[in-house]
Amino acid sequence: MTPYELLALVLIIALARLVLSLPPLVAQSQGRTRTIAHEYLDPFIVAGIAAWLLITFVARTYYIPSASMVPTLAVGDVLLVDKFEYHFHSPHEGDVVVFPPPIPSPDDFIKRVIGLPGDEFRIVHGIVYRNGARLSESYTNERPNPDFNLEIRNYGIFVDDGGGWQPLSSSQANVPPRSMWTAPDRIPPHCYIMLGDNRNDSEDSRVWGFAQDTGRFDAGPRKGEAAGFTGRAFLIFWPPSQFHILHG
């Protein structure tokens, strides 16, 4: 249930409570409808409002529908996502994050933060290098594709999957215009490289460019729409056999 659906349900219950608490029209009524309103509907309203505040501003559950984050997250896992934390600090490298993607989608995406604003970033034969240092990625599912290369350079994202270097198009991917960059070979402000742990079966920043932590998408098919991070996934609580805290 989305926050909007929950809020609608609370409003319906509140309306029913208001109707039942109106003065009865039948002279012999002893006010039983008011008792019902107080005894049964008021607790539902209070609980509903508390739940709405919780899932809107603090935490929310998410279901994993795809294999793009295997082995960290399996299809069918249910997560608890902290929606409060990023009000106080930016995402860290390694965080598993839920966010609206810069391409049309009815659902949020969940990926791992790999590149941060201001980073030099490249992928060489499938191996990720951040600020010149090779990342130790024990969380990935299998050996990366040795034919894949990526570089942040010349105010763009350039990829080579075996057919030669090509820039990601700003009409198809969120690659901000040159004026938004602080250096031609560093990730722009408020932009992040997001990759799936199942690196060979994940549509991520290698295809649709940067995710953004604030503002509106600078480019791509959702240019001008609201961007941001929904929250950090920190706990798998279903199924019980997979119950554990997620670490970056």
Instruction: Walk along the chain (248 residues) in steps of 10 and give the mean pLDDT of each run.
Output: 46 48 46 52 52 52 91 92 87 95 95 98 96 94 90 98 94 97 97 96 96 96 96 89 83
Q: What is the pLDDT of residue 140?
A: 93
| Closest residue by Cα to residue 35 from 15, 53, 21, 16 | 21
Distances (CA, A) of 80 to 194, 213, 221, 237: 19, 20, 29, 7
End-to-end CA distance of the chain: 28
- Listed in order, the ranges of the chain carrying CATH 2.10.109.10 are 64-245
Question: Which option is the CATH number for 64-245: 3.40.50.720, 3.30.70.270, 3.50.50.60, 2.10.109.10?
Answer: 2.10.109.10
> Inter-axis angle of helices 42-53 and 3-20, to 10 degrees?
160
3 strand-pairing partners: none
Q: pTM of the entire structure?
A: 0.78
Active site residues: 68, 111
Output the six-digit token pair for 23. Answer: 């003065």
80 touches 61 (CB < 8 A): yes
User: CA quadruple 203, 209, 214, 219: dihedral positive or negative?
Assistant: negative
The confidence score (pLDDT) of residue 59 equals 61
pLDDT of 42: 52
Q: Give the residue from 232, 240, 243 showing the smallest Cα distance to 99.
A: 232
CB contact at 8 A, 146 and 125? yes
Q: Which residues pair with 244 in a beta bridge?
A: 236
